[in-house]
């Protein structure tokens, strides 16, 4: 039998688990473990870290047998999600996410909403009866893909976006309507055409392969190499690539996205800690596009979701015996977990947390 290199997760079961960080990377191992714990996680698969090395050895190409394995997993994901990649009526959209064995926060690349093109964006708008959401997702994808894959700095897209907001006399992204966002998408595509002398790739297969390879390449971008040197992380372990069905925090006011810690990372205090935005996508919270809310406000805004989030993350902390640093998204009132990892803390906080955890009987003194 051929060596297994791609690992599925979804529907309450994962082929991998939390102990497989070497192969799945930290993010992939966390997603697999959460899936096995029956935490709500959008389905997907992880292309193992060895494929990154194969990719480099093979001069920037994925070997054919691995490609077949990936294709089979994509088909499985389509079945699991009940949507098809490139389907004009009900398109599957995915994120393509980096994730090495050691946490390298924000150092490598991730692309969201992959699978959108001029046709699927219309289908998505129709199906959800929400053109604003569809074009909001498309403009995000056009920008991220162009930045990461085509090497056109995202600043240029942000400038075009700001210009449009200025013309429309609005200060907040949320005041941009469907037509405005559609117009922005047109401007983004023109920019790509002007820079690359080619149309923005419309074929979802081409989009996927380029994005996957770009994430493997991001292992060797300058940021990531610098970070590895500074943190004594070996250069030859490679990144995994996680391909995951999208869930949408940007469909309206019953949607949200956020990040948090199960304890305060700077003081170690036992307080639920974090930030979120209503009607937004993941990167908005970190990018500071709008001022995020404190996570305690979620208790008022979405009490059911808040309770569930507290329960799930407390369970994860207990399971991993470490403070958890997590990401989540709420799509139409339903909570999904997108990442969990050991929280980075100050030394003083680390001591307080360890002492508290012994008191709370989460860990033994020896641990």
Ligand X SMILES: Nc1ncnc2c1ncn2[C@@H]1O[C@H](COP(=O)(O)OP(=O)(O)OP(=O)(O)O)[C@@H](O)[C@H]1O
| Binding stretches for ligand X (CB under 6 A) | 27, 42, 95, 97-99, 105-106, 110, 112, 244-247, 282-283, 327, 329, 338-339
Asked if 357 and 351 touch (Cβ cutoff 8 Å), the reply is no
Choose between 81 and 181: whose C-beta lies nearer to ligand X: 81
Q: Which is nearer to Mg ion, 99 or 268 (CB)?
A: 99
β-sheet with 94-100: strand ranges across = 13-14, 6-10, 44-47, 239-245, 94-100, 110-114
| Per CB under 5 A, 113 contacts Mg ion | no
**Least Cβ distance, residue 50 to Mg ion (angstroms):** 22
DSSP 175: G
CA distances from residue 268 to 90, 248, 320, 328 in whole angstroms, order as listed: 45, 32, 17, 22
| Residue with smaller CB distance to ligand X, 201 or 260 | 260
**Closest separation between CB of residue 95 and Mg ion, Å?**
10
Give the one entry of ligand X, Mg ion, none that residue 46 binds, where binding means its C-beta sits below a cut-off of 5 to 8 angstroms depending on kind: none
Q: What values do phi and psi take at 178, rounded to 5?
A: -55, -45
Which residue number places its CB atom closest to ligand X? 282
> How much helix, strand and coil, in percent to the nearest 5, is found in the chain?
45, 20, 35
| Closest residue by beta carbon to Mg ion | 339
Site map 323..352 versus Mg ion, x via CB under 5 A: ----------------x-------------
- For residue 93, which of 103, 106, 83 has the smallest C-alpha distance? 83
User: Considering beta carbons, is residue 337 or 349 the nearer one to ligand X?
Assistant: 337
Q: Looking at beta carbons only, is 74 or 246 nearer to ligand X?
A: 246
262 binds Mg ion, rule: CB under 5 A:
no
**Minimum Å distance from CB 303 to Mg ion?**
26
- Angle between the N-to-C axes of helices 204-218 and 49-57, in degrees from 0 to 180, rounded to the nearest 10: 90
- By C-alpha distance, which of 61, 26, 8 is closest to 325? 26
The Cα–Cα gap between 323 and 316 comes to: 9
Taking the complex as a whole, the smallest distance from the CB of residue 248 to ligand X amounts, in Å, to 7
In the complex, least distance from residue 97 CB atom to ligand X, rounded to whole angstroms: 3
H/E element, 41: none
Cα(346)–Cα(325) distance, integer angstroms: 14
- Residue 175 C-beta: closest distance to ligand X, Å: 23
Of these partners, ligand X, Mg ion, none, which one is at the site of residue 30 (CB under 5 to 8 Å by kind)? Answer: none
Q: Could you tell me the smallest distance in angstroms from the CB atom of residue 137 to ligand X?
A: 10
For residue 239, the partner it binds in Mg ion, ligand X, none, with Cβ less than 5 to 8 A by kind, is none
User: Among residues 255 and 362, whose Cβ is nearest to ligand X?
Assistant: 255
Residue 126's contacts (CB-CB under 8 Å, 6 or more residues apart) are: 89
Q: Is 247 helix (H, G, I), strand (E, B) or coil?
A: coil
Report the partner that residue 42 touches, choosing among ligand X, Mg ion, none (CB closer than 5 to 8 A by kind). ligand X
Q: Which residues bind Mg ion (CB under 5 A)?
A: 339
């Amino acid at each position: 039998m051929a060596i297994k290199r791609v690992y599925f997760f979804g529907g309450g079961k994962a082929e991998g688990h939390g102990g497989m960080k070497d192969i799945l990377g930290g993010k992939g191992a966390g997603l697999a473990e959460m899936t096995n714990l029956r935490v709500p996680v959008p389905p997907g698969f992880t292309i193992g870290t060895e494929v990154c090395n194969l990719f480099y050895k093979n001069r920037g190409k994925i070997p054919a047998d691995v490609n077949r394995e990936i294709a089979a997993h994509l088909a499985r994901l389509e079945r699991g999600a009940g949507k098809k990649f490139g389907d004009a009526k009900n398109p599957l959209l995915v994120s393509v996410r980096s994730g090495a064995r050691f946490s390298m926060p924000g150092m490598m690349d991730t692309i969201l909403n992959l699978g959108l093109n001029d046709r699927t964006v219309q289908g998505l708008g129709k199906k959800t009866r929400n053109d604003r959401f569809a074009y909001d997702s498309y403009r995000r994808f056009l920008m991220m893909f162009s930045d990461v894959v085509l090497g056109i700095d995202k600043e240029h897209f942000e400038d075009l976006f700001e210009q449009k907001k200025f013309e429309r006399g609005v200060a907040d992204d949320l005041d941009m309507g469907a037509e405005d966002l559609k117009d922005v998408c047109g401007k983004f595509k023109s920019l790509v055409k002007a820079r690359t002398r080619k149309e923005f790739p419309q074929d979802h297969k081409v989009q996927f392969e380029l994005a996957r390879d770009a994430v493997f390449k991001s292992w060797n971008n300058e940021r990531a190499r610098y970070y590895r040197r500074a943190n004594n992380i070996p250069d030859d372990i490679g990144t995994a690539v996680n391909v995951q069905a999208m869930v949408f925090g940007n469909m309206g006011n019953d949607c949200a996205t956020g990040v948090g810690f199960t304890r305060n990372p700077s003081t170690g205090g036992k307080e639920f800690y974090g930030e979120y935005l209503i009607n937004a996508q993941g990167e908005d919270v970190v990018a500071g596009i709008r001022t995020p809310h404190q996570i305690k406000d979620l208790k008022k805004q979405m009490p059911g979701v808040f309770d569930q989030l507290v329960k799930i993350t407390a369970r994860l902390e207990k399971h991993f015996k470490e403070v958890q640093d997590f990401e989540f998204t709420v799509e139409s009132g339903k909570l999904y977990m997108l990442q969990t990892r050991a929280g980075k803390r100050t030394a003083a906080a680390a001591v307080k947390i360890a002492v508290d955890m012994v008191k709370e009987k989460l860990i033994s003194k020896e641990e």
